[in-house]
Amino acid sequence: MLSKNTLTTQAQINYNVTYQKKNKRLRSRHLFLSDRLVIVRSTRANIRRTKFESILNQKKNKRLQSRHLFLPDRLVIVRSTRANIRRTKFESILNQKKNKRLRSRHLFLSDRLVIVRSTRANIRRTKFESILNQKKNKRLRSRQYNP
């Protein structure tokens, strides 16, 4: 299991949530946490913005440790309740943090949760679309990242 030292405190991660009110698609599909992390949710994940906001404010809640695993380098992976992502998979990712491909590219955890990380907030549209096109979910493919 992950030690408590692995969990990043709320002070170390900037939880400034940026809302794009004019872009309904961007507002409903993306949640921006700090300037180095973009969490993209699929249709089946059914994770609402209000749910993210309430969870982020529960840093002392024990449920936060079981629902969120904070990895080094400001990479945050948020588990979906229905995604059934196991802790062993997260531990495997922790052991591979020196892998350049893992650090610089996208991580796919099940078909229901897409997590995108960019070191310098430079997410290339071609890479993102390439990964989205690998899935069979037409609704997910039709809502590609549009900077």
Between 24 and 138, the higher pLDDT residue: 138
Among candidate residues 135, 80, 77, the one with its CA nearest the CA of residue 102: 77
Residue 127 has pLDDT above 50, yes or no: no
In a domain, 71, yes or no: yes
In a domain, 20, yes or no: yes
Tell me the average pLDDT across 44-53: 40
Domain that holds residue 118: 4-142
Residue 132 has pLDDT above 50, yes or no: yes
In a domain, 147, yes or no: no
In a domain, 53, yes or no: yes
In a domain, 23, yes or no: yes
In a domain, 134, yes or no: yes
Residue 134 has pLDDT above 50, yes or no: yes
Tell me which H or E stretch contains 115.
Answer: strand 113-117
85: exposed, middle or buried (Cβ count in 10 Å: 0-12, 13-18, 19+): middle
How many domains is the chain partitioned into structurally? 1
Tens digit of each residue's pLDDT (9 = 90 or more) over 70-104: 333 333 344 443 333 333 444 455 555 444 444 43
3-class state of residue 33 by DSSP: strand
47 pLDDT tier (thresholds 50, 70, 90): very low
In a domain, 90, yes or no: yes
Residue 131 has pLDDT above 50, yes or no: yes
Tell me the average pLDDT across 135-141: 48
In a domain, 66, yes or no: yes
Q: What's the pLDDT score for residue 40?
A: 41
